[in-house]
Amino acid sequence: MRKVIPFALAAIFALSGCGTGGGGSGSSGITKGDAASAITAAEHEKKRAKGKGYEWRDTGKIIKKAKKAMKAEDYAKAVKLANKAKRQSANALKQYAEQKNAGPKY
């Protein structure tokens, strides 16, 4: 019984594709359009954070890396980096909301 369960789990992962490492854009099914959309969304969120004066230092650098990955046709990496930049900008906006009234209380 103990040998059957790990084998069954391995078979499920192998058939579903969850067990593979994945790599380039070919195995993940991510297209150039997906990468472009992710980068556009990240840039939009970055502009919102910049408008509040809370743009984080590395967000722009990450977007540049995403554009470079898209140019190299590594769309999966481009999407991953763009999503990271978008998440940073969303967190910057959360930080702004939490700290906008910060200061000494008299």
DSSP, residue by residue, the chain: -TTHHHHHHHHHHHHHTTTS---SHHHHT--HHHHHHHHHHHHHHHHHHHHTT---TTHHHHHHHHHHHHHTT-HHHHHHHHHHHHHHHHHHHHHHHHHTT-S---
pLDDT, tens digit, for every residue of 1-58? 444 454 444 444 444 444 444 445 455 799 999 999 999 999 999 999 999 999 999 9
Asked whether residue 95 carries a pLDDT value surpassing 60, the answer given is yes
The pTM assigned to this predicted structure is 0.70
pLDDT, tens digit, for every residue of 64-76? 999 999 999 999 9
pLDDT of residue 25: 47
